[in-house]
C-alpha cells in the first residue's frame, strides 16, 4: 500500500514564476512593464546567473522526465503529480493499492490521458472523490482549484468488476458520509461517454448519467474536419508586436476577456498591432499551412506566396480559453470581425483552406459563415454548456469540444432543417445586435434588415432561450431532464434569474 500527497507543481520554466521573487507585483504588470523589469533585473550579474541556472535546470529535468516517464510522453507541460502517479503505480505489488490526494485533473484533462488508459487497462480505480476548495480545505491552494482522493488497486480489470465509487463537487469530507453524494460509475460508461480520452464526467448525482447517455447517442463527436480551431498570437512570445496606445491604422488585439456570448465588444482592447508587422510574423506560418493543405514541400508553396491570405481577412468564430465550470457560463463563443489580431486567450476557428485552382495556381476556400453561425448558436446553448461542465475545470480548449456530441450539417442541410436554420438565424441576429457594421456582410444569409435586429435585452434573451429549448429538444431531452440541467446553473440563477424564468 502506498499513501501520499504528491507535489502539484508544473515543471516548465516560466518568467512569471522566477521574477516575482525580485519584484512582487510582476504578474500584474503590462507586457512592456514586465520587459523593463526583466531588463533591469538581468543587468545584475547574480540575478542573471540565477535566471540562467534555473532555466537550464528546468530544461534538463524536463528532458529527463520525457525519457523516464513514458505514460506522460506527449502530455503537454509536465506536472510532478503525474510523474509521481506513474512511478508509484510501478512500485505496487499485485493487489497493492495507491492511495493519493492529488489534482482532480488526473481524471479529466487531456495531459493525463496516458495515465488514465494505463489505469483502466491494467488496474482498477476503486474510488475517485473530487473536492472543490471553496471552504479552504487547503489554505494555500486557490479556492477554485479541485483536488481528489483516489484509490487504484493493482488488479487487472474484469468484466464483472464493481462500478467506480465516484463523488464530485464535494465541499467537506463529512459529505462523503451521505449516500447520495456517491455515484456508481461503470467502466463501460466511462468508455462510452469518452471513447478516446476515457475521462470521467463530473456527475452531480445519478440523474446525470441517463441524460448524458441520451445526448452522446444523439450525435457524433465534433470532428475537426467540420470545424477546427487554433491560436494566432501568443501573449508572451509575440509580446513585442503589442502596442499599448492606438493610432490610426492599427488593428485591435482581441483577448478572451473582450468577448461574451454573441458579443465581441464586451471590453475595450488593451493592445493593438501594426498590420504589416502582424502579417510579417505570420507569413512563414501561412506558407507552411499552404504546404500542408496542398501536400507539397514548403519551398514549393513559397512559389505561390502571392496567394497567401491571412486569417484576419475573414470573419471568425472564437471562444474563451478561461472557462471555469463554476462560473455563470462555461463555453463563451462569439464572432470576431475582420481585421483584428487574436491572442491565445481566445481559440479561433480556422477560416480557410488552400486549394489548387483550375490553372494550377493556388486559391482559398473559406469556412462557411453559415456553419459558423450554426456552431455559434449550438455551443452557446445551455444544454451544450451543461455537457461541457462535466469536462472543463479551468481552461476550455478544442480537445474538449471534440468530445461534445454535435450535429455537423452542410449548408444545404442547415437551410433545409427548420431547427438548424432558426438556430443559425438567431445567432446572426444576436451578433448583429452587438455590431451591425462589423457583420453586415452576413445579413443577406437570412435577408436580415436593420429593423429585424433585437434592440432590447428582453428580445435578445427570447432568442437565446429559443435556442436553448431547441438544442434540448434536438438532444431528445424531456422537460424534466431540461429542468434538471437548468438547476445546475447556480451562478446564472443568481445573476440572471429573469433569463432562467423564460425557460420554465
Q: What is the DSSP annotation of 281-335?
A: HHHHHHHHHHHHHHTS-HHHHHTTGGG---GGGS-EEEEESB--TTSS-S--EEE
Domain range enclosing 498: 229-503
Residue 220 lies in a domain: no
Percentage with pLDDT > 90 across the chain: 77
What per-residue string of b and e applies to 182-193 under the rule 16 or more CB within 10 Å gives b? bbebebebbeeb
Residue-level pLDDT at 426: 99
Note whether 428 and 479 are same-domain residues: yes
Note whether 273 and 142 are same-domain residues: no
Residue 216 lies in a domain: no
Residue-level pLDDT at 161: 93
Q: From start to end of 321-478, where are the E strands? A: 333-336, 341-342, 346-349, 352-356, 362-366
Q: Beta strands 341-342 and 2-4: pairing type?
A: unpaired
Q: Which residues contact 336 (CB under 8 A, 6 or more apart)?
A: 254, 259, 264, 315, 316, 317, 318, 342, 346, 348
The mean of the pLDDT values for the chain is 93
Note whether 410 and 456 are same-domain residues: yes
* CATH number of the domain residue 122 falls in: 3.40.50
Q: Beta strands 316-320 and 346-349: pairing type?
A: antiparallel
Residue 223 lies in a domain: no
Residue-level pLDDT at 75: 62
Per the DSSP assignment, residues forming a β-bridge with 10 are 79
Average pLDDT over residues 23-42: 87
The residue whose grid cell reads 431547441 is: 470
Note whether 188 and 293 are same-domain residues: no
Note whether 165 and 276 are same-domain residues: no
The residue whose grid cell reads 434538471 is: 484
Asked if residue 439 lies in contact with residue 427, where contact means CB atoms within 8 angstroms, the answer is no
Grade residue 67 by pLDDT with cuts at 50, 70 and 90. confident
Note whether 319 and 249 are same-domain residues: yes
Residue 218 lies in a domain: no
Residue 91 lies in a domain: yes
Laid out side by side, the sheet with 251-254 consists of 271-273, 251-254, 341-342
Is the pLDDT at 382 greater than 90? The verdict is yes
Residue 215 lies in a domain: no
Residue 471 lies in a domain: yes
Per DSSP, helices labelled H in 163-274 are 187-193, 208-218
Residue 392 lies in a domain: yes
Residue 504: count of CB within 10 angstroms of its CB: 8
Note whether 105 and 143 are same-domain residues: yes
Note whether 180 and 239 are same-domain residues: no
Q: What is the pLDDT of residues 176-209, one digit of tens each?
A: 999 999 999 999 999 999 988 899 998 888 899 9
Average pLDDT over residues 7-27: 88
Note whether 246 and 202 are same-domain residues: no
Average pLDDT over residues 251-264: 96
Give the separation between CA 433 and CA 347, rounded to whole angstroms.
23
Task: Note the pTM of the prediction, 2 decimals.
Answer: 0.82
Asked if residue 456 lies in contact with residue 354, where contact means CB atoms within 8 angstroms, the answer is no
Residue 476, Ramachandran bin (φ over 0: left; ψ between -120 and 50: alpha; else beta): left
Note whether 123 and 64 are same-domain residues: yes
Residue-level pLDDT at 325: 66
Q: Which residues contact 34 (CB under 8 A, 6 or more apart)?
A: 15, 19, 26
pLDDT greater at residue 153 or residue 31: 153
N-to-C CA span, the chain: 51
Residue-level pLDDT at 402: 94
Note whether 330 and 181 are same-domain residues: no
Note whether 283 and 380 are same-domain residues: yes
Instruction: Name the domain count of the chain.
Output: 2
Q: What is the pLDDT of residues 208-255, one digit of tens each?
A: 999 999 999 999 999 999 999 999 999 988 999 999 999 999 999 999
Amino acid at each position: 500500500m502506498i499513501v501520499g500527497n504528491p507535489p502539484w507543481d508544473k515543471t516548465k520554466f516560466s518568467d512569471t514564476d522566477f521574477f516575482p521573487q525580485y519584484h512582487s507585483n510582476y504578474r500584474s504588470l503590462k507586457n512592456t512593464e514586465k520587459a523593463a523589469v526583466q531588463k533591469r533585473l538581468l543587468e545584475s550579474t547574480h540575478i542573471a546567473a540565477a535566471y540562467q541556472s534555473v532555466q537550464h535546470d528546468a530544461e534538463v529535468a524536463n528532458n529527463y522526465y520525457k525519457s523516464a516517464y513514458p505514460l506522460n510522453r506527449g502530455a503537454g507541460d509536465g506536472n510532478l503529480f503525474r510523474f509521481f502517479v506513474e512511478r508509484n503505480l510501478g512500485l505496487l505489488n499485485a493487489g497493492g493499492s495507491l492511495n493519493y490526494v492529488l489534482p482532480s485533473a488526473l481524471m479529466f484533462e487531456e495531459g493525463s490521458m496516458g495515465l488514465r488508459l494505463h489505469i483502466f487497462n491494467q488496474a482498477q480505480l476503486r474510488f475517485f472523490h473530487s473536492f472543490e476548495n471553496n471552504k479552504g480545505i487547503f489554505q494555500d491552494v486557490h479556492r477554485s482549484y479541485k483536488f481528489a482522493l483516489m484509490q487504484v488497486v493493482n488488479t487487472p480489470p474484469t468484466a464483472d468488476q464493481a462500478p467506480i465509487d465516484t463523488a464530485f463537487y464535494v465541499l467537506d469530507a463529512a459529505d462523503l458520509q451521505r449516500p447520495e453524494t456517491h455515484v456508481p460509475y461503470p467502466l463501460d460508461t466511462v468508455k462510452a461517454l469518452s471513447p478516446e480520452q476515457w475521462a470521467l464526467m463530473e456527475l452531480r448525482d445519478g440523474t446525470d448519467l441517463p441524460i448524458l447517455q441520451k445526448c452522446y447517442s444523439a450525435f457524433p463527436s465534433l470532428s475537426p474536419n467540420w470545424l477546427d480551431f487554433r491560436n494566432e498570437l501568443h501573449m508572451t512570445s509575440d509580446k513585442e508586436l503589442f502596442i499599448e496606445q492606438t493610432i490610426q491604422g492599427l488593428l485591435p488585439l482581441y483577448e478572451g476577456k473582450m468577448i461574451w456570448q454573441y458579443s465581441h465588444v464586451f471590453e475595450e482592447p488593451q493592445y493593438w498591432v501594426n498590420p504589416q508587422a502582424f502579417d510579417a510574423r505570420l507569413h512563414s506560418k501561412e506558407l507552411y499551412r499552404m504546404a500542408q493543405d496542398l501536400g507539397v514541400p514548403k519551398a514549393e508553396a513559397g512559389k505561390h506566396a502571392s496567394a497567401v491570405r491571412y486569417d484576419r481577412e475573414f470573419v471568425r468564430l472564437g471562444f474563451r480559453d478561461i472557462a471555469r465550470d463554476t462560473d455563470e457560463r462555461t463555453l463563451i463563443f462569439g464572432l470576431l470581425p475582420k481585421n483584428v489580431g487574436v491572442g491565445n486567450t481566445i481559440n479561433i476557428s480556422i477560416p480557410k483552406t488552400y486549394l489548387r485552382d483550375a490553372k494550377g495556381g493556388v486559391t482559398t476556400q473559406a469556412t462557411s459563415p453559415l456553419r459558423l453561425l450554426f456552431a455559434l448558436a449550438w455551443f452557446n446553448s445551455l444544454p451544450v454548456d451543461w455537457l461541457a461542465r462535466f469536462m472543463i475545470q479551468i481552461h476550455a480548449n478544442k480537445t474538449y469540444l471534440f468530445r461534445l456530441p454535435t450535429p455537423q450539417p452542410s449548408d444545404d442541410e442547415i437551410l433545409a432543417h427548420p431547427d438548424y436554420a432558426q438556430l443559425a438565424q438567431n445567432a446572426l441576429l444576436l451578433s448583429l445586435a452587438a455590431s451591425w457594421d462589423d457583420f453586415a456582410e452576413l445579413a443577406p444569409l437570412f435577408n436580415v434588415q436593420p429593423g429585424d435586429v433585437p434592440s432590447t435585452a428582453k428580445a435578445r434573451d427570447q432568442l437565446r432561450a429559443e435556442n436553448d429549448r431547441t438544442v434540448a429538444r434536438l438532444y431528445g431531452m424531456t422537460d424534466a431532464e431540461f429542468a434538471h440541467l437548468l438547476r445546475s446553473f447556480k451562478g446564472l440563477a443568481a445573476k440572471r434569474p429573469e433569463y432562467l424564468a423564460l425557460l420554465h
